């Protein structure tokens, strides 16, 4: 592996992010400017005098040219200052940061479940091609892949929280309970399943397809004809080659998964970024909506970069020649 070339590629990839991040910041900034209504009036209320409005506009820099405003906004955003929520009267960053951590827990657990479950099921189906298991798995994954996550969440609550009373249905911790990791995990189970189901189903279908494609190739026939068992062929020959494709597929499902997490956070009262986004949208708290959008876009871009780089590490074929 040519170290220098890979380093150059990584640097190119990082530099390529700059215009995208720049574009994101412009889109988010401009949307704030497009909203009808006067920020100063919203902050001061209907009783404000013209003089106090002018003072506040000046203090907020709203009387400056738009590119100056953008520059100042970006500079503050880079330092972690996303402004003040006019509704809750708290810094946007203070509102979003704890929620972001909670979403990471839910999204991380769901992504793990979707990838491990999806790949296991997909490989199993591919190894039993056209058998009963294969057909059952493919049928089920088609239905699950089309399930609205918010509805699946409600169905899980009906079964496991209301009827069976096995698991809690709301929040991250019990109000009057032991708390701690055990409590968190119990609360995590249902939202994780609801979030992971649809992306996991898609990962299963695509894993099956890419394993089947590899199983049809000549070197697999060679491996079989020299007497290797099906299991050995699958484990040592097919999967090694299929991994990068599976990784890419899984990475592509991440956006879908994060979108689904908004609904499961809402359904299960999980205090994450998605739930915050929805309640801020309903409260018309545009400052927080923008901050959340910035947070989500940044983390999404970074995760995609991580998937790319991981792929580079795992798959020699994806390295620049």
Site of interaction with other proteins (CB under 8 A): 19-21, 23-24, 27, 31-32, 34-35, 142-143, 146-151, 154-155, 157-158, 162, 254-256, 258-260, 262-263, 266-267, 274, 277-278, 280-282, 284, 286, 289-290, 292-293, 296-297, 300-301
Quote the least distance from Cβ 88 to other proteins, whole Å: 15
Exposure on the CB side of residue 197, measured as CA atoms within 13 A: 24
Exposure on the CB side of residue 235, measured as CA atoms within 13 A: 5
Beta bridge mates, 91 = 84
User: Of 287 and 311, which has the nearer Cβ to other proteins?
Assistant: 287
Quote the least distance from Cβ 279 to other proteins, whole Å: 10
User: Of 49 and 163, which has the nearer Cβ to other proteins?
Assistant: 163
Quote the least distance from Cβ 263 to other proteins, whole Å: 6
SS3 178: coil
User: Of 26 and 59, which has the nearer Cβ to other proteins?
Assistant: 26
Closest CA to 96 of 287, 305, 303: 287
**Rounded distance between C-alpha atoms, residue 213 and residue 208, angstroms:** 9
Closest CA to 268 of 165, 197, 191: 191
Beta bridge mates, 84 = 91
User: Of 127 and 280, which has the nearer Cβ to other proteins?
Assistant: 280
Query: What spatial distance separates the first Cα and last Cα of the chain, rounded to whole Å?
Result: 9
Contact 307, 247 (CB under 8 A): yes
Phi and psi, residue 146, nearest 5° = -105, 5
Quote the least distance from Cβ 82 to other proteins, whole Å: 14
DSSP for 110-125, please give it.
HHHHHHHHHHHHHHHH
Quote the least distance from Cβ 25 to other proteins, whole Å: 10
User: Of 39 and 254, which has the nearer Cβ to other proteins?
Assistant: 254
Quote the least distance from Cβ 64 to other proteins, whole Å: 22
- Record the tokens describing residue 28, joined without a space: 């988010």
User: Of 148 and 179, which has the nearer Cβ to other proteins?
Assistant: 148
């Amino acid at each position: 592996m040519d170290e220098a070339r890979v380093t150059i590629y990584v640097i190119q990839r990082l530099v390529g992010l700059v215009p995208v991040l720049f574009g994101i910041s412009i889109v988010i900034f401009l949307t704030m400017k497009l909203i009808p209504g006067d920020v100063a009036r919203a902050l001061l209320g209907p009783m404000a005098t013209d003089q106090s409005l002018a003072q506040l506009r000046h203090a907020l820099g709203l009387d400056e040219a738009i590119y100056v405003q953008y520059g100042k906004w970006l500079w503050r955003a880079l330092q972690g200052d996303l402004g003040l929520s006019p509704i809750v009267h708290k810094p946007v960053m203070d509102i979003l940061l704890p929620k972001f951590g909670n979403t990471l827990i839910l999204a991380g657990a769901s992504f793990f479940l979707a990838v491990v479950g999806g790949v296991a099921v997909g490989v199993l189906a591919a190894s039993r091609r056209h058998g009963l298991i294969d057909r059952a798995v493919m049928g089920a994954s088609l239905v699950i892949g089309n399930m609205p996550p918010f509805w699946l969440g409600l169905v899980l609550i009906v079964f496991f929280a209301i009827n069976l009373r096995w698991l809690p249905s709301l929040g991250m911790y019990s109000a009057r309970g032991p708390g701690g990791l055990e409590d968190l995990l119990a609360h995590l189970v249902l939202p994780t399943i609801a979030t992971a189901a649809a992306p996991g189903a898609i990962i299963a279908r695509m894993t099956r397809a890419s394993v089947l494609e590899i199983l049809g190739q000549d070197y697999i026939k060679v491996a079989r004809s020299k007497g290797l068992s099906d299991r050995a062929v699958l484990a040592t020959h097919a999967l090694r080659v299929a991994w990068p494709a599976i990784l890419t597929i899984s990475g592509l499902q991440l956006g879908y998964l994060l979108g689904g997490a908004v609904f499961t956070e809402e359904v299960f009262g999980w205090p994450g970024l998605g739930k915050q986004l929805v309640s801020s949208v309903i409260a018309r708290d545009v400052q927080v909506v923008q901050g959340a959008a910035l947070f989500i876009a940044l983390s999404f871009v970074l995760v995609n970069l991580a998937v790319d780089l991981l792929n580079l590490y795992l798959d020699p074929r994806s390295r620049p020649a």
